[in-house]
Amino acid sequence: MVKSSSLEVELDVFSGRPNPRWTLAAPEADRLRRQIRSLRSSAPEQHIPDLGFRGFIVHDAAGSVRVFRKTVIVPAARPRRFLLDTPHIEDTLFDEATRRGFQQLLPKA
């Protein structure tokens, strides 16, 4: 991921209509980038369902990563990389989605 001032987060829940998206301001975006760059531990491959909640997609100018089931998936890597979400990025994104009013779209704990 390239360093820039903001990141766009997509809550991947819909098929056939646009997913909710929001932009993280520079301080939050920089923190998230640092967390993603710090990931080292491999995680088991995750199957992404066709319908329903499919995690969060974090977009920037360099590409995107998916955060789903405590795993950060780097799709552009060959082979695709699955990294263990040790800094709890997914929890932070759940909190952010809830704060923005999307809690009804999130899976129940």
Per-domain boundaries in the chain = 7-103
Question: Any bridge partners for residue 60, and if so which?
Answer: 63
Q: Would you call the peptide bond into 79 cis, given omega within 30 degrees of 0 as the criterion?
A: yes
As a whole number, mean pLDDT of residues 30-54 equals: 93
pLDDT, tens only, 61-98: 888 999 999 999 998 888 889 999 999 999 999 999 99
Q: How sure is the predictor about 4, in pLDDT bands with cuts at 50, 70 and 90?
A: low
The model carries a pTM of 0.91
Question: Any bridge partners for residue 64, and if so which?
Answer: 59
User: Looking at residue 22, what DSSP letter applies?
Assistant: E
Q: How sure is the predictor about 101, in pLDDT bands with cuts at 50, 70 and 90?
A: very high
